[in-house]
Amino acid sequence: MTQGTLDRLREKLRLENEPKERIDPRAWKVWTITGAINFAILLPLALAFDRFAVGLVNLPSLAGTAVLALALVYGPWGMAIAPWLRMRFWRYEVREKEMEIQHGIFIIRRHLIPMVRVQHVDTEHGPLMRYFGLATLYVNTAASRFPIPALPQGRAEELRGEISALAGVSDEDV
């Protein structure tokens, strides 16, 4: 592949006018650790499956190998690639009348949520997030729920207040 086609490809795949704000880079650590924990649980399970379960129920030995391979592939994926992609694409932007959220790993989703449609906003933090001083903000409309993960706790509180103030100032019905 020449430099020209590579550039063309990059140009084609480029996301245009992405929302401005990124989430906190510490999210990376949180996701990596979560991936590592998942991997640490998954790998022994896969090993046990390959060692014992396959022989027990008379599956072809290929099944055990396949499961083991999947678990091994999950390692770098869950600990490095997925967190990196997620970090790369997760953006948000809050404007006076609407907000935009972009996220995804393979399929990039962009949501446009008018402030008048926001029902309520809440924050949530698991033990790992809390350790790093992060929180997840959830924006709820009557139809769906949109998370913005890994915001610094102060920022999350601030955003929650800001969005709540901007939301619900309309007399348009549901």
Partner 1 sequence: MMMVIEASRSAPAFIGLAFVFSISSLGVSLAQFAVQFSATFLVLLLISSVFNSLSWAFFWYRHEPGYVHIRRGVVFKSERSIKRERVQSVNVYTNILQRAAGLATLQIKTAGTGEEAEVNLRALTLEEVEAIKSHLKKDYSPDSPPEEEAEEAVHRLDNKDLWLAGITSGRFLVLFSVIGVVFSQLFTYIPDWIYDYALELLIDVPLAAIAIAAILLFLLSWALSIISFVVQYARFTIRRYEDRLEISWGILKQNHVTVGLHRLQALVVMEGVFRQPLGLSTLYIEVAGGGAEGQEQISMLHPLVRIKELQGFLGGILPEYSVPAAPVELPQRSLRRYLLRAMAPAALFAVAAWAALAEYGIGNGWLALLLLVPAALLGMSRHANGRTAVEGCQMTLRFRDINRYTVMINKPHLQSLSLLANPFQRYNDLRTVRAAVLSSPSGKSFQVKDVDADEARRAWEWYSHR
Q: How far is the CB of 4 from partner 1 (least distance, A)?
A: 16
For residue 32, give the nearest of 80, 64, 88, 86 by alpha carbon: 80
How far apart are alpha carbons 115 and 156 in whole angstroms? 17
**Contact indicator for 20, 100 with CB cutoff of 8 Å:** no
Instruction: Give the residue with the Cβ less far from partner 1, 107 or 169.
Output: 107
Cβ 89 to partner 1 shortest distance, Å: 11
Please say which residue, 101 or 134, places its beta carbon nearer to partner 1: 101
Minimum CB distance to partner 1 smaller for 109 or for 130: 109
Please identify, using beta-carbon distances, which residue of 3 and 172 lies nearer to partner 1: 172
Q: How far is the CB of 19 from partner 1 (least distance, A)?
A: 12
Tokens of 28: 């990376």
- In the complex with partner 1, the residue whose CB is nearer, 58 or 173, is 173
| Token pair belonging to 107 | 């399929």
Torsions phi, psi of 103, nearest 5? -160, 170
> For residues 141 and 161, what is the distance between their CA atoms, to the nearest angstrom?
16
DSSP 129-172: HHHTTEEEEEEEESS-EEEEEEEEHHHHHHHHHHHHHHTT----
Compute the least distance from the CB of residue 134 to partner 1, in Å. 25
Binding-site ranges for partner 1 (CB under 8 A): 9, 12-13, 15, 95-98, 104, 106-114, 117, 141-144, 146, 172-174
Q: C-beta of 130: minimal distance to partner 1 in Å? A: 29
Residue 121 pairs in a beta bridge with 139
